[in-house]
Amino acid sequence: MYKRISAFLFPVTAVLLIGALVWGYQENQEKNSLLIKAENQYQRAFHDLSYHMDQLHSQLGNAVAVNAASNGMHRKSLVNVWRLTSEAQNEVNQLPLSLASFNHAEDLLSRMSNFAYQTSVRDLSKEPLNDKELKNLKALYQSSKDISKDLHEMQSKVLAHNLRWMDVESAIATEKQPADNTIIDGFQTVDKKVEQYAELDWGPTISSMYDKRSVKMLKLQPTTPQEIQTKAAKFAALRPEEVKILENGKDTEWASYTAVINAKNGVGKSMDFTRNGGLLISYSDQRPVGKKAVNRSQAIAKANSFLNQKGYKGMKPVAYDEYDNMASITFVPIEGNVLIYPEKVTVRSGLDNGEVIGLQASDYIYEHHQKAHTSTKAKLSVAKARKFLNPEFKEMYARKAMIENELSKHVLCYEFGGRINGSVYRIYINANTGEEEKIEEVMDADENFTKDQDNKAFVS
């Protein structure tokens, strides 16, 4: 009997063992194939980075070599600098350096990219490079030379010693020193050199992109938890003792308060306030939303009524979207006959009854109290601004609007809504120069909403 069982089990076991060996071999082959592919990608990104830094140094050299009045060559070189820094940033992101120190070098590439882009897109015939910008180009030319030289040295060592990036990735992940840490040491050396470079004056436009946007910049007075409790109770029409206050980020520039209200059915509400000034950042009602029973117009009317009750007067809806039986409606204030887009407020409403269940007012807080926008008086009439549109553009409405352009500047525009090439667009024409500042395609969910608004009344 045992012989018969053995005679049956032996070939079955042998087949299973052979199958396991074959499966293990195939798995090992696939693993090795993936490792080789990853290694090749790392090597390609590294060598491309070295090449693009060489090219970047060359283009910066072209920019500083020509006459200060050579606007055409400056524009061409700066466009290439922007393209090459973007390529270099992409290649750095492909390398396993997330845990290694390379922050200062990445920050320099980012600032260089934004500087090159914003300088090249402006009209250099009217606003040529100034002395400070030319000085920056010379400094960047020297910096790129040093970085390029260090990368070349690393590249030579990698090739000479056949170093593998997978070893670097494994070493960083396990916090162990690889057998040869030339690559890690090389990038850390580059980063330390960049950290020691003299700080460049990038100008207010570039610097503002890297400023931490906090309410501390508004220089408002700190508030106490008791004051926030009173404000939250008033907002929710409750007694102060029904509101619990939590303090967040104490002694940091992001200090804030959270007001928590627990409803009887277990579904609560919460509000976030700035510590300085006690300004409402956001409001949220976690109640479940039922089936849709409210249309677009009813939801907008209720949202508008809610904003009026809470102190956001004179707001106009400019965008509408629906998802999961909820509506997201964007409102902006009106100053004279101008829509102030940077001061937008977003309201979230439940479409079961139209009641507001959320409010986001962080943009409104900063821009409304900062009041950084320019004059609302236009040099061009709407008729003259209209001449800068594509003749095939089928205009549906026109209105004045203050927007923030690509250079992070507030500009007064004429907003033209209309259709071209089968799609609906909003085109913003600078009300002083006639330049196209921004073009937005209107999403399907927002198209009818755009048509329904009484937009023509906003143009004088």
| Residue after which a domain boundary falls, among 207, 242, 270 | 207
Query: What's the average model confidence in pLDDT over 148-158?
Result: 86
CATH of the domain at 250: 3.30.310
Secondary structure letter of residue 220 according to DSSP? P
Residue 346 lies in a domain: yes
Distance in angstroms (rounded) separating the CA atoms of residues 166 and 45: 13
Question: Residue 445 has what pLDDT?
Answer: 47
State the DSSP H helix or E strand holding residue 51, giving kind and residue range, or none if neither.
Answer: helix 2-65
Residue 17 lies in a domain: yes
**Residue 88 and residue 183 in one domain:** yes
**Residue 225 and residue 198 in one domain:** no
State the DSSP H helix or E strand holding residue 165, giving kind and residue range, or none if neither.
Answer: helix 165-174
For 316-323, the CB contacts below 8 A with 24+ separation are 317/449, 317/453, 318/344, 318/453, 319/446, 319/449, 320/296, 320/445, 320/446, 320/449, 321/443, 321/445, 321/446, 322/351, 322/445
| Residue after which a domain boundary falls, among 370, 397, 423 | 370
| Residue after which a domain boundary falls, among 173, 207, 241 | 207
Residue 402 lies in a domain: yes
Q: Which residues have a Cβ under 8 Å from the Cβ of 60 and sit 6 or more positions away?
A: 77, 81, 137, 140, 141, 144
Question: Residue 192 has what pLDDT?
Answer: 83
**Residue 366 and residue 444 in one domain:** no
**Residue 353 and residue 408 in one domain:** no
**Residue 64 and residue 131 in one domain:** yes
At 248 the three-state DSSP class reads strand
Q: What is the pLDDT of residues 418-439, one digit of tens each?
A: 999 888 999 999 999 999 999 9
Looking from the CA of 181 toward its CB, the CA atoms found within 13 Å total 13
Q: What is the domain extent for residue 344?
A: 218-370
**Residue 227 and residue 203 in one domain:** no
CATH of the domain at 401: 3.10.450
Handedness of CA 90, 96, 98, 101 (dihedral sign): negative
Nearest to 398 by CA among 372, 426, 440, 371: 426
Residue 213 lies in a domain: no
Distance in angstroms (rounded) separating the CA atoms of residues 207 and 88: 21
What tokens were used for 33? 């194939």
pLDDT band at 458 (very low <50, low <70, confident <90, very high): very low
Q: How many domains does the chain have?
A: 3
**Residue 173 and residue 226 in one domain:** no
**Residue 293 and residue 419 in one domain:** no
Nearest to 244 by CA among 256, 227, 264, 262: 262
Is residue 455 a contact partner of residue 333, using CB atoms and an 8 Å limit?
A: no
Highest average pLDDT, of 14-28, 279-293, 430-444, comes from 279-293
Q: What is the pLDDT of residues 126-142, one digit of tens each?
A: 888 888 888 888 999 98
Residue 280 lies in a domain: yes
Checking if the pLDDT of 281 tops 80, the result is yes
**Residue 431 and residue 338 in one domain:** no
Highest average pLDDT, of 37-46, 215-224, 266-275, 429-438, comes from 429-438
Query: What's the average model confidence in pLDDT over 225-240?
Result: 92
**Residue 180 and residue 300 in one domain:** no
For 159-167, the CB contacts below 8 A with 24+ separation are 164/39, 165/38, 165/39, 165/42, 165/43, 165/46, 165/95, 165/96, 166/35, 166/38, 166/39, 166/42
Residue 212 lies in a domain: no
Question: Residue 187 has what pLDDT?
Answer: 81
Distance in angstroms (rounded) separating the CA atoms of residues 100 and 155: 18
Adjacent-strand bridge partners of 269: 261, 285
The lowest-confidence range among 54-68, 266-280, 434-448 is 434-448
Residue 394 lies in a domain: yes
Amino acid at 315: M
Distance in angstroms (rounded) separating the CA atoms of residues 287 and 432: 47
**Residue 320 and residue 352 in one domain:** yes
Nearest to 436 by CA among 375, 386, 399: 386
**Residue 411 and residue 280 in one domain:** no
Highest average pLDDT, of 159-163, 193-197, 262-266, 312-316, comes from 312-316
The dihedrals phi and psi of 262, each to the nearest 5 degrees, come to -95, 115
Distance in angstroms (rounded) separating the CA atoms of residues 283 and 259: 9
Residue 289 lies in a domain: yes
| Average pLDDT, rounded, for the chain | 81
Checking if the pLDDT of 377 tops 70, the result is yes
